[in-house]
Amino acid sequence: MTARDLIQVAVFLGVLAALTIPCGLYFESVFDDRNHFLKRSFGWVERLIYKICFIDPNEDQDWTIYGLHLLTVCALSVVFNYVILRLQHKLPLNPQGLGPLSPHLSFNVAMGFITGTAWTSYVSESVMSYFSQMVGLTFQNFMAAATGICVAIAVIRGLSRKEAAGIGNFWADLIRVNLYVLLPACFLFALFLISQGVIQNFLPYHSVTTLEGAHQLIAQGPAASQIAIKLLGSNGEGFFSANAAHPYENPTALSNFLQMLSMFLIPSALIYYLGRSVKNTRHAWSVWTAVVILFVGGTFISAHYEYKGNPIYTKLGTSNAENWEGKETRFGIFNSALFSSISTDTSTGATNAAQDSFTPLGGLIPLVNMKLGEVVFGGVGSGLYGIVGIILLTVFIAGLMVGRTPEYLGKKVEGREIKYVMLATIAFPLLVLVFTAWGSVDARAFSSTGNPGAHGFSEILYAYTSGAANNGSSFGGLSTNTPFWNLTLAFVMFFGRFFTMIPMLAVAGSMAKKRIHPTGIGTFPAEGGIFVGLLIGVIIVLGALTFFPALALGPISEHFSMLEGHLFK
């Protein structure tokens, strides 16, 4: 690590912290239905939508109704996108004349985008028309991000309200999130990206002749609008298959910095909004500090091993052992590791480097980031309600230590809430480990790996971890456009999303009904150094140690094989 690397992380975190407060305050105005500058200009649009759709925004829904409406919207979105992908050859904005996607790939894509995973078993510019990108995928990008934020808002209400029957109105939350947060933020971000050189057009692909005399097809399209929501909405699927390594998606150092910042901004602001809602901003900054410590630690470990490189290169006479394989030279080693850590700490999954080419322990960090439950800031909304679940377990453990009923923010944490949290917590490792075991012995799965041995196992482990964590990134050596992979990953993505989301809605409904008790001398404080340390410990135990045997079979085993000088062909 160089001094420049340390300065970059410090500047990144400083800018993030500075933007967290105003964005959190703005969220408070939007989600608590207060007056704000966009409502004064576009409030009539909100009211018109309510009138057309017969929505009463003041209707307070309990968690079952809230969740039912959310699942209905998600199901309709899957059908909507599936139909578009199957009929894209008959729809407009298809200058390349691309044909329809196969049924199993269409289902995988539709399920991937509504869960915020955006898994890609395809080369984007080779199979997706402009219409499919702009109408099908972009629409689901907004819906996936909005539904995640809606659940986060509902969980915050459950913690801040006292003796309340409901947790808000799903339709009002959905409309406000899109109208006042996602749409204006994406519009401004897309304009910034265009100013940096990201393309936004409807031209057919360009056929050019290279300096060597070969012919090359250069893809075009409305990229900036898709990239804005993929990053702000934690979706991650690039307009081009090279994702943020492509110069049309990520042209400059400034665009790279802002793209990384955009992935953390909404999750960070939601943490501050939690503190404002429960009238305890010290708690919010304690949570923020805990996740920053995990983020910085993971980034430095990944960068360290990428700088250290592969000792086999040194034995072969290479003067520079740093691992430049799969890196975009415009960004370098540290920015590749930093971007990778940010995109896997969140559920974005975007990448500006080939993670499949990272060193074993350099690639271990993105894998571990997802196995922590993506609570290190996490996805938009999903990170907030994910970390709340871990906090409830933390205060429950603290309560057991001192022999008293655990409390969180003045509310007693009882068996009902812990059962819901454990349901959400157990679902993730169950999905990952069961399907990884299946994929490791099923020829239909293992034949798709691009590498033998431990790395091939890591490719399978990474794919199902990414699907269950709704991340969408992958080790690129795995070819997943087969019926087996598309269908099993769709199953994993669905249950990974909703078997976490629905139990946390139940937690919100249960906590909203509780009264708030004044804290006493024996109450475990949800702030300060002890809380931060215990929270980090619980995250690591539940995340990393649960998967240690699988990690030992994959990247850790590969690392020691590399040190011994073993090569795999």
- Give whichever of 62-71, 92-101, 213-222 has the largest mean pLDDT: 62-71
Reference 476, options 344, 349, 356, 368; nearest CA is 356
Beta bridge partners of 497: none
Reference 331, options 257, 264, 262, 239; nearest CA is 257
- How buried is 483 (Cβ within 10 angstroms: 0-12 exposed, 13-18 middle, 19+ buried)? middle
Torsion of CA 418, 419, 422, 424, to 10 degrees: -110
Task: Name which residue leads in pLDDT, 309 or 487.
Answer: 487
Q: What is the pLDDT of residues 401-445, one digit of tens each?
A: 777 778 888 889 988 999 999 999 999 999 999 999 999 998 888
The pLDDT value recorded for residue 448 is: 85
Q: What is the pLDDT of residues 493-550, one digit of tens each?
A: 999 999 999 999 999 999 999 988 877 676 788 889 999 999 999 999 888 788 999 9
CA distance 54 to 328: 51
CA 330 to chain centre: 25
Domain residue limits, the chain: 33-208+216-277
Q: Are 106 and 84 in contact (CB under 8 A)?
A: no
Question: Quick one: residue 442, left, alpha or beta (phi over 0 = left, psi -120 to 50 = alpha)?
Answer: beta
| Mean pLDDT score across all residues of the chain | 91
- Band of pLDDT at residue 16, cut at 50, 70 and 90: very high
3-state secondary structure of 200: strand
CA distance 499 to 106: 23
The pLDDT value recorded for residue 119 is: 86
CA 530 to chain centre: 28
Asked if pLDDT for residue 569 goes beyond 80, the answer is no
Q: Are 455 and 477 in contact (CB under 8 A)?
A: yes
Q: Are 2 and 304 in contact (CB under 8 A)?
A: no
Q: What is the pLDDT of residues 502-512, one digit of tens each?
A: 999 999 999 99
The pLDDT value recorded for residue 373 is: 81
The pLDDT value recorded for residue 451 is: 81
Look up tokens 């062909």; give the residue.
569
- Average the pLDDT over 325-354 and give the result: 92
CA distance 275 to 156: 9
Beta strands in 136-249 (DSSP E): 206-209, 215-218
- Band of pLDDT at residue 246, cut at 50, 70 and 90: very high
Pair of tokens at residue 186: 């994406």
Q: What is the pLDDT of residues 189-206, one digit of tens each?
A: 999 999 999 999 999 998
Pair of tokens at residue 360: 């074993």
Read off the amino acid at residue 233. G
Pair of tokens at residue 440: 């490791």
DSSP line for 266-290: HHHHHHHHHHHHTT-HHHHHHHHHH
- Band of pLDDT at residue 74, cut at 50, 70 and 90: very high
Pair of tokens at residue 290: 């805990």
Read off the amino acid at residue 404. R
- Band of pLDDT at residue 457, cut at 50, 70 and 90: very high
Pair of tokens at residue 553: 């079979």
- Band of pLDDT at residue 287, cut at 50, 70 and 90: very high
Q: Are 253 and 265 in contact (CB under 8 A)?
A: no
